[in-house]
Structure 1
Amino acid sequence: MSVFIKSRNILRKSWHILGRVHNFSTETNRPNLKINEDSLNKYIKHLQREYDGLNKSTTNISRKHYLHRIMGVLNERKSVIDNINNLKELIEDKGDLGQLAKEETNMYKNQLDDLDNQLLYSLVPSSKEDNFDSIVLEVQAGVGGQEAMLFAKEIFEMYTNFAVYKGWDLDLTDYASTELGGIRLASALIQGPGAFRYLKHEAGVHRVQRVPTTEKGGRMHTSTISVIAMPQPSEIEITINPADLRIETKRASGAGGQHVNKTESAVRIVHLPTGVAVECQVDRSQIKNRRLALAKLRALLYQRDLDQRYVELESFKKSQVRTRNRNEKIRTYNYTQDRITDHRLSLNVHNLKAFLEGGKQLDSLIQKLDEHYLNESLLNVLSDYA
């Protein structure tokens, strides 16, 4: 019998995590989500057979290394469980020996929790995009006119503050402001460890419900903005042929003093094969604007290719999950009730002012969303072994 079938409580911590993730809000009375243990064991047996097969060949080295790590965790886990079982009789001792046995058992149980957590994360298939440390984040006003534009500015500032909170680098690539102080659209190139893995969970439609300052009747208005998070590949992942580009320069428009009228610093780049066009005029340096525009173009082309691969290779169900994350309402900001509701978790967070500062509260919510995503991914994998 293989090492991972011997433990009846395999992935015990994963069970608890899954239950917590799907039961954040006590108001919703959503049932705890449980994994079918037989499905999990079947999946791990499948991985064991695949690993044994790969050991007999010299192909697919990266997959072999991935499975080797999982088997290493499983073997270490078995060793820890054996140690806990060997200490059970000694715990009954009423003297110092029993106390030492209890302390050692607690130590091994902590190790077991850590190993279970490692196993959960290892079993979830990851995409190479999750390893990208660079992302183009775009915020665009939607339904609601000027109120939507004002809200778009608040959300974009929340993400810029979040980048500072995480210690990431941020460069504006586009910023179209309005006379009343809002923005029609703003985008930024954000670089830092885990940037895409974090911010991909923010992609979608954000809704705000509040009484605008310009509303004299005190009526509640509902407006929306959209957030797009595109992985920013390196030049290795996607190569752009300079011959396929039409690069134009012009004088920048908007605020900026006399400089905008005298220097052709604004850059517009058109990718001729696809017709994709980008502009950048956020800096006085034409060189920097060109670099930022190329970075955004590379992200757009990569996203275009990624979307096409999802349509061609993924099932309809998985494609719908991706579409839903991008286009449907994911979060509501209710100012009257001082409440943020994330609809994917049915989770309510209070203290809007602190949340919009883009610090600890936003970070905590994104961590929960990432855990939720991992667990959903694991359940999706295990559904094939039910």
Structure 2
Amino acid sequence: MQLDRYIEKIQKKFDKLQTELSKEELYTDPSKTIEIAKEHTRLKETLDLYGELKQIENAKSSVESLAKETADPEIQELAQQEITRLSNKIQELTMAILGSLFPPEENKSSKNVIIEIRAGTGGEEAALFAADLYRMYSKYAEKKGWKQELLHFNPSELGGLKEVIFSVQGKDAFRKMKFESGVHRVQRVPATESQGRIHTSTATVAVLLEAEEVELDIKAEDLRIEVCRASGPGGQGVNTTDSAVQVFHIPSGIMVRCQDERSQIKNKEKALKILKARLLARKQEEEAQKRAQERKSMIGSGERTEKIRTYNFPQGRVTDHRIPITLYNLQSFMDGDIDPIVDQLMQKEMELRIARELAEEDCQLKPVKDGGKPLIV
């Protein structure tokens, strides 16, 4: 990681701001003074964390040297315990530094996140796995103290989920959950398998930001809203009233149907909320393409080969293929302890951002060749 080099940039910027704050003429402009003071404080916090990180790294090196030099088993055991503690502290400080370098955008950190889970390849076993993923994310949200709201629920015959859509709201919800978008693959022996054979199935996850009214201009004439009788299990009254609502957005061709509530009004509200989130995701996709930043499809086609993560139950392991990393704590992971992978994905994203910014800076500093085009090496 090029963190050391990036911190050099931060130090130079901090020194420059400190010089600015020492100038008397600055204080004739209160708004500019406040802006510079805030940035000065933020950078100081980053540099203080970095200083602490360097101290911990030096302490770890000293303990590692001690462990190599001694033959005393008791001292070696104590040294290994201290090395583990310091390694955890280094990881914690690294995440804190990266988080301070790239704080979450205010408009994204405060919004609701809509999560859509659908059964992919694998029939009923895929639906059961989709239900497991829904439980996993619900447990994770509970641990984080995030609020949850179920928006749509389509069960399968054996207790799985063909589709479930729900929203979560809380600090850093989108920042952490965005990495879950993609194809999730499970390898296990299904309850319906009589010969004990391991099956491979998939479920897809899409993580969307909930749209705000100011972000989307949805005209009433662009919507076709239909009400109909709800279908499926759900009690005595579910099939006796026209409570289900189907919303079709004519320009985009997106259709949303909600029937979970007995109230037609509530079903309409939920359907419009899901529609707006999908339209916002499409709008953001189009804008990203205009900026020439290619973005992979959020969930692919659901095929087994298009996987971001594999959950192997016979071996009790979970593997994320993007880092890659493998953990052998599948049960606790399915109970919502997914931060060990999420944190590493966040760290990798921020490391790539640092590398990209440094590469762009190098490009600007290099002499131009070949008709004025800078060369990046």
> Could you tell me the TM-score, scaled by structure 2's length?
0.71
Query: Aligned ranges for residues 124-273 of structure 1 at < 5 Å?
Result: 124=102, 127=105, 130-273=108-251
> Which residue number in structure 2 is paired with residue 374 of structure 1?
350
Partners of 1:380 and 1:80 in 2: CA distance: 23
Q: Compared with structure 1, are the counterparts of its residues 217 and 254 closer, same or farther at alpha carbon in structure 2 (3 Å cutoff)?
A: same
> Could you tell me the TM-score, scaled by structure 1's length?
0.69
Whether the 8 Å CA contact 1:139–1:226 is kept in 2: the answer is yes
Query: Counterpart of 1:261 in 2: which secondary structure?
Result: coil
- Residue 351 of structure 1 aligns with an amino acid whose one-letter code is N
Alpha-carbon shift at residue 281 of structure 1 (Å) = 1.0
Q: Compared with structure 1, are the counterparts of its residues 324 and 128 closer, same or farther at alpha carbon in structure 2 (3 Å cutoff)?
A: farther
Alignment of 1:346 onto 2:324: yes
Query: Counterpart of 1:262 in 2: which secondary structure?
Result: coil
Q: Deviations over 1:205-259 (max 9, x none)?
A: 1111112222233222111111000011222222323332221111111111221
> Which residue number in structure 2 is paired with residue 15 of structure 1?
none
Q: Compared with structure 1, are the counterparts of its residues 204 and 132 closer, same or farther at alpha carbon in structure 2 (3 Å cutoff)?
A: farther
Greater shift, 118-127 or 187-196, is seen at 118-127
> Which residue number in structure 2 is paired with residue 290 of structure 1?
268
Partners of 1:383 and 1:130 in 2: CA distance: 27
Alpha-carbon shift at residue 64 of structure 1 (Å) = 11
- Residue 218 of structure 1 aligns with an amino acid whose one-letter code is G
Whether the 8 Å CA contact 1:178–1:184 is kept in 2: the answer is yes
Query: Counterpart of 2:202 in 1: which secondary structure?
Result: strand
Whether the 8 Å CA contact 1:136–1:299 is kept in 2: the answer is yes
Whether the 8 Å CA contact 1:40–1:385 is kept in 2: the answer is no
Partners of 1:78 and 1:367 in 2: CA distance: 21
Q: Compared with structure 1, are the counterparts of its residues 74 and 215 closer, same or farther at alpha carbon in structure 2 (3 Å cutoff)?
A: closer
Q: From 285, 288, 294, give the equivalent of 1:307.
A: 285
Q: Compared with structure 1, are the counterparts of its residues 332 and 245 closer, same or farther at alpha carbon in structure 2 (3 Å cutoff)?
A: same
Percent identity between the two aligned chains:
38
Partners of 2:49 and 2:231 in 1: CA distance: 65
Whether the 8 Å CA contact 1:129–1:231 is kept in 2: the answer is no
Alpha-carbon shift at residue 198 of structure 1 (Å) = 1.9
Q: Deviations over 1:301-341 (max 9, x none)?
A: 100001111111043xxx2xx41764442211001101111
Q: From 307, 310, 323, give the equivalent of 1:332.
A: 310
RMSD: 3.7
Query: Aligned ranges for residues 46-57 of structure 1 at < 5 Å?
Result: none
Q: Compared with structure 1, are the counterparts of its residues 66 and 378 closer, same or farther at alpha carbon in structure 2 (3 Å cutoff)?
A: farther
Unaligned runs of at least 5 residues, structure 1: 1-32, 57-61, 83-112
Q: From 323, 333, 339, give the equivalent of 1:363.
A: 339
Query: Counterpart of 2:260 in 1: which secondary structure?
Result: coil
Q: Deviations over 1:175-201 (max 9, x none)?
A: 222112222211112222322122111
> Which residue number in structure 1 is paired with residue 255 of structure 2?
277
- Residue 296 of structure 2 aligns with an amino acid whose one-letter code is T
> Which residue number in structure 2 is paired with residue 383 of structure 1?
359
Report the count of equivalent residues: 312
Partners of 2:159 and 2:196 in 1: CA distance: 21
Query: Counterpart of 2:257 in 1: which secondary structure?
Result: strand
Q: Deviations over 1:12-58 (max 9, x none)?
A: xxxxxxxxxxxxxxxxxxxxx34472x664687689999x99xx9xx
Query: Counterpart of 1:243 in 2: which secondary structure?
Result: helix
Partners of 1:66 and 1:352 in 2: CA distance: 46
Partners of 2:33 and 2:274 in 1: CA distance: 35
Alpha-carbon shift at residue 123 of structure 1 (Å) = 3.5
Q: Deviations over 1:269-288 (max 9, x none)?
A: 11222221111111112222
Higher relative contact order (CA 8 A, sep 6+): 1
Query: Counterpart of 1:181 in 2: which secondary structure?
Result: coil
Partners of 1:352 and 1:75 in 2: CA distance: 40
